[in-house]
């Protein structure tokens, strides 16, 4: 179902802005209308937990913001000014894709067979364990989470768990994307005689949507309704975001209808989720209109809301619109954060406006509303500088990073090493790799792939093979991206024996692809090993790898040049059967071969075949055809009737093969050259 704004059903579904109230009525009306849920523990708004950046489900920040200031990539803005009483807090580089809500008071369980006195400290300990996990990439997080699971069951401290403990653990499992275990724990919770509340279900719905299991999330939502548990705004926002990311706008509309019927007012998280969903479908205009509608409805966008839209504008190359949106953001006293700046810097570098990106970086670090750059900021600039060939500036920026308290990561070094190889500065690239190792960073598969590719392009095959051996020695398994460049370079240097040996070694560790076979077939054709080339083609087909147009063209040319014209014609038929259309280069090799043998009839046959496929001929091929015909008795007489035709060929003009046949046939009907 298409989702259109603003003649949309959405504007009618979203509630009007709240009336202006004063005094006690104003404070009472500042919260959303109560739902018709059965008695359940009160919930707090969800807290940020350090999930991936640019998440559209983060709550807005209430911290003070800078005064309005204009930012433009061509002329750096002046620094933002803030009140002395309200200093601008440091911007955060992360935001949460969902939040956690816990009951204010622990509910009384239906049944328990042991004492409950330590349960408060148990829940606190479990929360501390889960919050200590941080990023899922940290060591030991699975061990901590499994330990928390034991605490939830009371195995560690000898007490029974309550709803708070289960809620904490389910939320932690969902944040670590272990949703199947979270679902199992919900079943376990119900088996213990506990009643899951809106907080448990919301955590599970959010987790399922995060991993793309939107249908499962909808089933959990339906289960809530069956159990007469009323969803809150966070529940709706989580499911709406999941549905919108998958383009299921019909169901989004149903959810908004349901919210309106239950009196649940959309908040900044709801709007941001919708905007993010529209952006992921490339509907940036609709997303921009929805942002305006959001403001009309009295909901203030957050930094995350703006970041989502700025990100999409940059992806579509609308960098000026992105800067205009940032200006509006600052006018509303909403502070840009490191993600805002990073997004704009990436957008500028993608458009090769690296100087503007560097100006924006200066504004970022030197203005009064300073935002501390992170490693992604530096990597984005280094990437842009390397792409534009400014490797010296990229290296200078790399040296500046420690002075600003930011350390290079693997991505930084990989970008710089790649930039150095593009400039053929291999010695400095190797030095940089050694520097990386000394700093405690191990080269990864990308590091080796970059260096192997670089050496192969410079025909330093021995150095590339040494790197391949070093890669194995460090415990890394080479991939196709490492083997293929070396095999190609060996074939180009006519080292076919070494190439086949490396190819056989590769087959023991990973499956070859069309690039692997293409390199070997090319090498075999160049060295005159036509039997080897045919064997490789057969092996490709046996492995279920479909040869491409280039492989067939190489084979046809090789067989035609060697005089195996029957095999060349057979390969053309096989090529056509595989869905490829032979081009003029493929036919040219056959025409030349037939011309050398004086087989005019075969040339005419090829011309008919080419005309049926409407193959365009260039002047070179037309000259070949005419020269072939001039060697034939009938052909010489034909050329006497075509003075203008030869002039066009000499001027480099081309025709379609069908047009050539028609003109030849008009001049000399006895040759019977009309298309089949």
Which letter, b or e, does each residue of 302-329 get, where b requires 16 or more Cβ atoms within 10 Å of its Cβ? bbbbbbbbbbbbbbeebbebbbbbbeeb
Sole residue written with tokens 């076979």:
517
Q: Residue 460: what pLDDT?
A: 95
* Residue 617, phi then psi, degrees to nearest 5: -105, 140
Q: Would you call the peptide bond into 6 cis, given omega within 30 degrees of 0 as the criterion?
A: yes
- Residue 83 pLDDT > 50, yes or no? no
State which H helix or E strand residue 391 sits in.
helix 391-403
**For residue 302, is pLDDT > 80?**
yes
Closest CA to 600 of 621, 622, 626: 626
What pLDDT does residue 136 have?
Answer: 42
Q: Indicate the pTM of the whole model.
A: 0.68
DSSP state of 672: -
In angstroms, how far is the first alpha carbon of the chain from the final one?
49
Closest listed residue to residue 310, CA positions, set 332, 328, 294: 328
Question: How many Å apart are CA 417 and CA 430, to the nearest integer?
Answer: 8
The C-alpha torsion from 219 through 220 and 225 to 231, rounded to 10°, is: -130
| Mean pLDDT within 97-118 | 35
30 close to 298: Cβ distance less than 8 angstroms: no
pLDDT score at 340: 96
Average pLDDT over residues 39-58: 34
Joined tokens for residue 423: 């400039």
Entry field: residues in the chain: 676
Residue 527 carries which DSSP code? T
**pLDDT value at residue 613:** 78
Q: Is pLDDT above 60 for 169?
A: yes
Quickly state the pLDDT bin for 253 (edges 50, 70, 90).
Answer: confident
pLDDT of residue 631: 64
360-366-77 Cα angle (round to 5): 50
Identify the CA nearest to 555 among candidates 539, 571, 532, 574: 571
Instruction: Provide the CB-side half-sphere exposure for 26 (13 A, CA).
Output: 4
Give the lowest-confidence range in 195-204, 456-465, 593-602.
593-602
pLDDT tens digits, one per residue of 121-142: 444 444 544 554 444 444 444 5
The two tokens of residue 371 are: 């935002």
**How large is the average pLDDT for residues 550-563?**
93
Which pLDDT belongs to residue 151?
52
pLDDT at 366: 86
Give the residue-averaged pLDDT of 242-253.
87
Question: Helix or strand or coil: residue 476?
Answer: coil
Element (H, E) at 288: helix 284-296
Give residues with Cβ within 8 angstroms of 605, minimum separation 6. Answer: none
| Mean pLDDT along residues 349-361 | 96
pLDDT digits (tens, 9 = 90+) for 402-425: 998 999 999 999 999 999 999 999
Tell me the C-alpha distance between 320 and 84, whole Å.
32
- Residue 475 predicted with pLDDT over 70: yes
3-state helix, strand and coil shares in percent for the chain, rounded to the nearest 5: 60, 0, 35
Indicate whether 187 pLDDT > 90.
no
| Mean pLDDT, rounded, for 9-13 | 47
Q: Are 553 and 582 in contact (CB under 8 A)?
A: yes
Q: Average pLDDT of 518-522?
A: 96
Res 492 pLDDT > 90: yes
> If pLDDT is split at 50, 70 and 90, which confidence band does 186 have?
confident
What are 563-591's pLDDT values in tens digits? Answer: 899 999 999 989 988 888 888 888 888 88
State the pLDDT at residue 26.
Answer: 35
Lookup result for tokens 């605490």: 151
Confidence (pLDDT) at 590: 87
Model pLDDT, residue 250:
86
Q: Determine the 3-state secondary structure of 351 from DSSP.
A: coil
The residue whose two tokens read 């990436």 is: 346
Handedness of CA 215, 219, 222, 224 (dihedral sign): negative
* Residue 228 CA neighbour count, 13 Å, CB half: 5
Q: Who contacts 582 (Cβ-Cβ below 8 Å, separation ≥6)?
A: 552, 553, 556, 572, 575, 576, 613, 615
> Which helix (H) or strand (E) covers residue 576, if one does?
helix 565-577
Q: How far apart are CA 367 and CA 417, in angstroms?
A: 32
Report how far apart, in Å, the C-alpha atoms of 171 and of each of 43, 161, 239 are: 14, 15, 16
- Burial (CB count <10 Å: 0-12, 13-18, 19+), residue 159: buried
If you write DSSP's letter for every residue of 53-109 in order, what string do you get?
SS-TTPPPP-S--PPP----SSSPPPPP---TTSPPPPPPS---SS----BSSPPPP
469: CB partners within 8 A, 6+ apart? none
Q: Which pLDDT band, with edges at 50, 70 and 90, does 193 fall under?
A: confident
Summarize the confidence of residues 112-124 as an average pLDDT: 38
| % residues pLDDT > 70 (the chain) | 69
- Identify the residue with better confidence: 580 or 630: 580
Distance (Å, rounded) from C-alpha 36 to C-alpha 234? 16
Chain centroid to CA 514: 24
Whole-Å CA distances, 23 to 18, 31, 33: 15, 14, 18
Reference 302, options 275, 280, 264, 342; nearest CA is 275
* Token pair for 218: 């909808």
Report phi then psi at 103, rounded to 5. Answer: -60, 145
Note the pLDDT tens digit of each residue in 203-238: 999 999 999 899 999 999 999 888 888 899 999 999
Residue 557 has pLDDT above 70, yes or no: yes
* 503, 538 contact by CB (below 8 A): no
Minimal CA–CA distance to 221: which of 262, 193, 188? Answer: 262
The model's confidence at residue 88, banded by pLDDT at 50, 70 and 90, is very low
> What local confidence, expressed as pLDDT, does residue 662 receive?
67
pLDDT at residue 150, rounded to an integer: 54
pLDDT of 148: 54
Locate 105 and state its tokens: 């008071």
Tell me the mean pLDDT in the region 278-300.
90
* Angle in degrees, 0-180, between the axes of helices 198-210 and 179-191, rounded to the nearest 10: 160
Of 223-237, 250-264, 610-624, 652-666, the one with minimum mean pLDDT is 652-666
Contacts of 307 (CB under 8 A, 6+ apart): 54, 337, 339, 340, 343
Percent of the chain with pLDDT over 90: 43
Are 187 and 199 in contact by the 8 Å Cβ rule? The answer is: no
Predicted confidence (pLDDT) per residue in 12-43, tens digit: 444 444 444 333 333 333 333 333 333 333 33
Per-domain boundaries in the chain: 583-676
d(CA 360, CA 357): 5
Residue 102: Cβ within 10 Å count: 19
β-sheet bridge partners, residue 199: none
* Higher pLDDT pick, 40 / 446: 446
Q: Coil, strand, or helix at residue 103?
A: strand
Whether the pLDDT of residue 342 is over 70: the answer is yes
SS3 for 43? strand
- What pLDDT, on the 0 to 100 scale, is given for residue 86? 35
Query: H/E/C letters for each residue in 609-636?
Result: HHHHCCCEECHHHHHHHHHHHHCCHHHH
């Amino acid at each position: 179902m298409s989702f259109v704004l603003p003649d949309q059903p959405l504007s009618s579904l979203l509630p009007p802005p709240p009336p202006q109230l004063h005094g006690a009525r104003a404070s009472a009306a500042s919260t959303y209308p109560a739902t018709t849920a059965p008695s359940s523990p009160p919930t707090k708004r969800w807290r940020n937990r350090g999930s991936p950046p640019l998440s559209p489900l983060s709550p807005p920040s209430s911290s003070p913001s800078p005064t309005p200031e204009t930012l433009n990539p061509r002329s750096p803005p002046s620094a933002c000014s803030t009140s002395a009483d309200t200093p601008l807090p440091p911007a955060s580089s992360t935001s949460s894709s969902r939040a956690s809500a816990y009951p204010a008071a622990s509910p009384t369980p239906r049944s328990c067979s042991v004492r409950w006195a330590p349960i408060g400290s148990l829940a606190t300990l479990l929360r501390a364990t889960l919050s200590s996990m941080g990023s899922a990439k940290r060591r030991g997080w699975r061990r901590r989470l499994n330990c928390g699971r034991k605490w939830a069951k009371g195995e560690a401290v000898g007490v029974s768990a309550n709803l708070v403990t289960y809620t904490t653990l389910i939320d932690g499992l969902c944040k670590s994307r272990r949703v199947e275990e979270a679902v199992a724990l919900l079943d376990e919770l119900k088996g213990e005689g506990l009643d899951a509340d809106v907080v448990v279900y919301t955590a599970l719905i959010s987790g399922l949507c995060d991993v793309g299991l939107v249908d499962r999330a909808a089933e959990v939502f339906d289960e809530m309704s069956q159990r007469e548990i009323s969803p809150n705004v966070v529940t709706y926002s989580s499911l709406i975001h999941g549905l919108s990311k998958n383009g299921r706008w019909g169901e989004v509309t149903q959810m908004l209808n349901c919210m309106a019927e239950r009196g649940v007012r959309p908040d900044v998280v709801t709007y941001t989720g919708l905007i993010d969903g529209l952006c992921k479908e490339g509907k940036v205009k609709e997303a921009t209109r929805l942002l305006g509608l959001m403001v009309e409805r009295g909901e203030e966008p957050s930094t995350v809301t703006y970041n989502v839209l700025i990100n999409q504008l940059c992806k579509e190359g609308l960098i000026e619109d992105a800067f205009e949106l940032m200006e509006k953001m600052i006018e509303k006293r909403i502070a840009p954060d490191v993600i805002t700046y990073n997004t704009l810097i990436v957008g500028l570098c993608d458009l090769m406006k690296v100087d503007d990106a560097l100006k924006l970086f200066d504004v970022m670090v030197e203005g009064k509303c300073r935002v501390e750059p992170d490693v992604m900021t530096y990597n984005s600039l280094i990437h842009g500088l390397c792409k534009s060939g400014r490797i010296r500036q990229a290296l200078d920026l790399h040296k500046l990073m420690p002075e600003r308290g930011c350390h290079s990561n693997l991505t930084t070094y990989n970008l710089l090493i790649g930039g150095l190889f593009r400039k053929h500065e291999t010695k400095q690239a190797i030095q940089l790799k050694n520097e990386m190792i000394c700093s405690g960073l191990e080269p990864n598969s990308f590091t080796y792939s970059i260096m192997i590719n670089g050496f192969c392009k410079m025909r330093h095959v021995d150095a590339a093979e040494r790197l391949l051996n070093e890669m194995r020695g460090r415990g890394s398994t080479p991939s196709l991206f490492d083997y293929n460049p070396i095999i190609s370079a060996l074939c180009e240097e006519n080292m076919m024996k070494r190439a086949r040996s490396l190819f056989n070694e590769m087959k023991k560790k990973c499956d070859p692809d069309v690039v692997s076979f293409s390199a070997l077939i090319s090498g075999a054709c160049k060295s005159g090993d036509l039997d080897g080339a045919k064997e490789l083609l057969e092996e490709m087909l046996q492995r279920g790898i479909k040869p491409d147009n280039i492989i067939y063209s190489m084979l046809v040319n090789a067989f035609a040049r060697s005089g195996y014209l029957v095999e060349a014609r057979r390969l053309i038929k096989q090529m056509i059967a595989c869905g490829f259309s032979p081009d003029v280069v493929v036919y040219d090799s056959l025409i030349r071969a037939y011309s050398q043998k004086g087989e005019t009839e075969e040339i005419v046959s090829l011309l008919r075949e080419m005309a049926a496929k409407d193959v365009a001929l260039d002047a070179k091929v037309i000259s070949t055809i005419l020269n072939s015909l001039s060697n034939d008795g009938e052909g010489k007489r034909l050329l006497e009737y075509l003075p203008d035709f030869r002039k066009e060929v000499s001027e480099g003009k081309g025709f379609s093969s069908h047009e050539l046949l028609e003109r030849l046939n008009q001049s000399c009907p006895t040759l019977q050259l009309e298309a089949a």
